[in-house]
Amino acid sequence: MSAFEEYAVQAIPQSVQRRQAKQEAKPESALDRKMAEKQRLTRAYKAWQREVRIETLASEPRLRDFMRYLRTVKPHDGDELLQAVRSSWLPRSTQAVRIFALRLIDRHAGRLARQLGDEPLNDPLPPETNVYLQAREILHAGGRA
């Protein structure tokens, strides 16, 4: 073994060395293979979502201004947000941009709900509505995308 290889082995933390030794000692079970596949698919999905987010932001620079505006929206500003969305360029934008904006609105509404001590995933029962559902009606007129 060369000096470089010896140094590389010594540089590996002991916890990693123990984990590697355990993995080498036991054969991989079906559950392990399934979990590894699930982790691989999750990483691929997150990478794909990141690419979509980057492409959407690059295709519509006005989204950054919308993101800045959302940071200023307070819990009692729901009607103002809906009016801003209704009168903005968003309803006439591409489907990918509208979906991205709707996700931003949903994430912000959940964050505000948590700050107020409410449940983040507590959607009202029909015929009641909330800011997200109203924004979805504005941005996806004629049906869901």
Name the residue ranges covered by the structural domains of the chain. Answer: 29-59, 61-139
Tens-digit pLDDT profile for residues 105-119: 988 888 888 888 877
| pLDDT tens string 49-58 | 999 999 999 9
Global pTM?
A: 0.67
Per the model's pLDDT, the better-predicted residue between 19 and 138 turns out to be 138
Residue-level pLDDT at 52: 92
Better pLDDT: 7 or 59: 59
Hey, is 117 helix, strand or coil?
Answer: coil
CA 8 to chain centre: 37
3-state secondary structure of 91: helix
More confident site: 130 or 44? 44
